[in-house]
Structure 1
Amino acid sequence: MDLKTAAALRRLRLISVPEAVSFLILLLCSVLKRTTEFDAVRPMGMIHGALFILYVIFWADAWNRTKWPKKTAALYFVLSVLPAGGFFAERKLKREAENAVIASRARNEGIVNA
């Protein structure tokens, strides 16, 4: 895995958790708006919207660089629109990055001919 691909995966991984947290907070704000006088849906919606747009941009970049199959790319996109899905995406991306580093080190040491 080259550095640009690794950086694309890292960016996607790093944005996935804040995007998931903002989604959960937005859902909480929606409930509070309907049950109390507290109304923070508009500002939280803008924050979540910006984070979601960043996630989609980083997702597209990662898909382009990694050449994921459509099924894998769709999984990461679906995780972005599910509440708490970003937490699962982050965990899966972290595992994928660690496996890529291990494979790269093995190739560099001549353990695996890949």
Structure 2
Amino acid sequence: MLKIFRATAILEGISYLLLFGLTMPLKYWAEIGGPNKVVGYAHGALFIAYVVIGFVFWYQKKWSIKRLLVLMLASLLPFATFYVDMKYLRTTD
């Protein structure tokens, strides 16, 4: 389960950066909307997967509510899923 959660966290972070750093500017500045749609769908699926797996992982590890809030907040902030991977997922207690 840890490997799946780590992979989902990293991919969700990458998709977030691609969506807002690359495809949104392409959509609004260059009027190229195709990549935004594809990356947007992928990011949405990865976001939902991250949240669901995060809850499952939190429950299995019996972590505190504070750690759950950190996991969930990380899904909303750029680069934060990379932080979660580094701080909480590389070594789990």
Q: Which runs of 5+ in 1 are unaligned?
A: 1-6, 101-114
**CA deviation digits over 1:52-104, x for unaligned, max 9?**
1111111011111111111111001111111121111111110x33xx4xxxx
* Runs of 4+ residues deviating >6 angstroms: none
**C-alpha distance in structure 1 between counterparts of 2:67 and 2:56, whole Å:** 14
1:26 partner amino acid = L
Q: Which runs of 5+ in 2 are unaligned?
A: none
DSSP-derived class of the 1:81 partner: coil
**C-alpha distance in structure 1 between counterparts of 2:55 and 2:4, whole Å:** 11
Matched, 1:46 2:41: yes
Q: Does the CA contact (< 8 Å) of 1:14 and 1:90 recur in 2?
A: no
TM-score by length of structure 1 reads 0.72
**C-alpha distance in structure 2 between counterparts of 1:60 and 1:47, whole Å:** 20
1:14 partner amino acid = A
1:62 to 57, 68, 74: 57
DSSP-derived class of the 2:71 partner: helix
DSSP-derived class of the 2:75 partner: helix
Aligned residue-pair number: 90
C-alpha root-mean-square deviation of aligned residues, in Å?
A: 1.3
Larger Rg: 1
